[in-house]
Structure 1
Amino acid sequence: MVEFAPLWVPWERRLQTLAVLQWVLTFLTMAQSCTIIFIGLLFTRFWLISVLYSAWWYLDRDTPSKGGRSWTAGRRNCIWNYMRDYFPISLIKTAELDPSRNYLAAFHPHGVLATGAFINLCTESTGFPSKFPGIRSHLMMLNVWFRIPIFRDYIMLGGLVSSDKESAAYILNKKGGGNLLTIIIGGAQEALDARPGNYMLLLKNRKGFIRLALTHGVPLVPIYSFGENNLYDQVENAPGSYLRWIQNRLQKIMSISLPLFHGRGIFQYSFGVIPHRQPINTVVGKPIEVQKTPNPSEEQVDQLHQRYMEELCNLFEAHKLKFNVPVDKHLEFY
């Protein structure tokens, strides 16, 4: 039975839904559309546009790993305010960040589309600049997305940068400080487990970000986004199932995962690609001080990794009851 939305809905809510719809469609189709347009123009009288863009692309090839090209006006666009209010999404600060230092943040969980990470860290709709004055936010994204013409320029406007060591080193070693580099630790693989009520994080053997923090001597900031996994339902794909095997194989080949998710539509609540109206509360934890160790040993990495997991659990436990997480639910790592 399809559950239809009321016929008369306030215009404000319609705008919120449209704002989210454009973002989802951008995420799901813009990369493919840009590729088709770029190649297609080569076979028309407008072929020079693609040729000139190729020249620009070559000259600008290192920008994604050199801090990107954030655009303040784009981050402040009112469309993000409508998207924020749709869920709604909020950013909770628990400690100060010194603008004279650089920080490495670890974001959990990935969710299906990393909605909380985008709104909180790539837009100013939840007040990041006012809550953390003097701090510039950068969010890492898979390198494959920066190899797509036009789309690469679009995503950089929000502060997205490539996810490689060179990119991390450039930001974390920037003189004068004031930079927060965020990595969504679970990545594409964790997205396959994003479903309501799931509090399992792909973290047990993810230690690359720990090495980065030690190598560059920057504080580690744990971030947990309550409600991130509640936005979509997902087709059952338990580990060991045939569907999960196919998804894992495709993820290894393409570097991106393909979760079979479903939410709601524009005029009905039963199916579609629009996420459910569920609140997201992103909590930024207290920085963990890290001593600079250019060549950290496995023991040093393991010690800091263990401490990080303990601090993340403490952050989760301290706030879970505020955001309707059952008292018997705890973080689990795999």
Structure 2
Amino acid sequence: MNIDFAPLDVPLRRRLQTATVLQWVFSFIGLAPTCIFLFLYLLFTRYWLISVLYTVWWFFDYDTPSRGGRRVPFMCGLKLWDHMRDYFPIKLVKTADLDPRHNYIFGFHPHGVLVAGAFTNFCTCTTGFTQLFPGLRSYMLMLPLWFRAPFFRDYIMCAGLIPSDKESASYPLRQRRGGNAVVIAVGGAPEALDAHPGSFDVLLAHKKGFIKMAMVHGAHLVPVFSFGENELFDQVDNQRGTWLRWIQERLQSIMGISLPLFHARGIFQYSFGLIPYRRPINTVVGRPIKVEKTERPTAEELDYLHQLYMDELSNLFEEHKGNYGVDKDTHLHFV
């Protein structure tokens, strides 16, 4: 295989962009195991007291993730996120105003391999979320598993991440003052297995939990489609029905996380590695779907709102696909 090495005269700004994305990829796939190892390792060194004191802190702070987390605005506004935004680049597109007196559920599609668009747009300040939607605070959901990793849980809470279990996701929506936007990558980990370039499969046809949550709390639904999310990585062929897909789905059902076999480019060469390609991401936030509070929705009411949401998401895709290089004959496929 011929290796396409990066030229030596790459501008410093592009090197900074690559370094920032590298640390983000490591944070996503390697930081949690590193934190667990560090926590256990310290117990057998002269610094054992650090882990012991952290355990005490963890005991008293255990419920914080399920109560809105602990966002640190300084961390969300760091300059390094500008480098990540410019690497792809990533842009947040607004189509309608959102009244901060209400609470919202943003349905983010597609998940992609590492949800780069969702993280950059809703966990950092770099694409202007707070300017585009004044008065709104975003809370992005993440698998509860990651909040059981010492040190790592505190790091991800700094960005406004909270667990995706029902109780944690409902907490911001119960706040009567409004102004909270819970961001859900609806397809979740299973949809990452379909994140192939050129794919527009959306795992939504049987996903109704977030619809019911919106109805119970009277939170308005906002469809979000991130053009380019599936273009960042190549993935080993794992079509439904293949032995690899069967293994991936079994592991996902056991561990709760999916294991897509993805690859893209490296740090100093463009031929292979785990750094995403430099391809644009345009995250379009659709118009809100007004939802009346219904504490015990019927199956018919749930089905109606679910179909309305799918229609609105499809309309959003059709309305904007031409702006981002998607062929006019391409349509969303709901799985």
TM-score bracket, shorter-length normalisation: over 0.9
Cα drift, residue 177 of structure 1: 0.9
Q: Which residue of 1 aligns with 2:155?
A: 154
SS in 2 for 1:137: strand
Per-residue Cα deviation, 1:291-321 (whole angstroms, up to 9, x for no partner): 1110111111111000000000000000000
Q: Does 1:232 align with 2:233?
A: yes
Per-residue Cα deviation, 1:46-104 (whole angstroms, up to 9, x for no partner): 11111110111111111111001000000000110000000000000001111111111
Q: Which residue of 2 aligns with 1:286?
A: 287
Mapping 1:163-312, distance limit 5 Å? 163-312=164-313
- TM-score after normalising by structure 2: 0.99
Choose 162-171 or 224-233, whichever is displaced more: 162-171
Q: Which residue of 1 aligns with 2:135?
A: 134
| Residues in 1 aligned to 2:232 and 2:54: alpha-carbon distance in whole angstroms | 37
The aligned amino acid for 2:155 is Y
Choose 1-10 or 142-151, whichever is displaced more: 1-10
Structure 1 vs Structure 2: percent identity of aligned residues?
A: 60
The aligned amino acid for 1:77 is L
- TM-score after normalising by structure 1: 0.99
SS in 1 for 2:92: strand
SS in 2 for 1:125: coil
The aligned amino acid for 2:203 is L
SS in 2 for 1:81: helix
Give the 4+ runs in structure 1 shifted more than 6 A. none
Per-residue Cα deviation, 1:215-246 (whole angstroms, up to 9, x for no partner): 11111000000000000000001111111111
Per-residue Cα deviation, 1:91-145 (whole angstroms, up to 9, x for no partner): 0000111111111110000000000000000000000011111110110000000
| Residues in 1 aligned to 2:104 and 2:307: alpha-carbon distance in whole angstroms | 19
| Residues in 1 aligned to 2:141 and 2:241: alpha-carbon distance in whole angstroms | 30
Q: Which residue of 2 aligns with 1:315?
A: 316
- Let me know the Cα RMSD of the aligned residues: 0.7
| Residues in 2 aligned to 1:60 and 1:194: alpha-carbon distance in whole angstroms | 36
Q: Which residue of 1 aligns with 2:332?
A: 331
Choose 304-313 or 38-47, whichever is displaced more: 38-47
Per-residue Cα deviation, 1:257-306 (whole angstroms, up to 9, x for no partner): 11000010111111001000000000000000011110111111111000
Q: Name structure 1 gaps, 5 residues minimum.
A: none
| Residues in 1 aligned to 2:238 and 2:211: alpha-carbon distance in whole angstroms | 30
Give the aligned length.
334
Mapping 1:48-197, distance limit 5 Å? 48-197=49-198
Choose 173-182 or 86-95, whichever is displaced more: 173-182
Mapping 1:28-67, distance limit 5 Å? 28-67=29-68
SS in 2 for 1:215: helix
SS in 2 for 1:104: strand
Choose 83-92 or 96-105, whichever is displaced more: 96-105
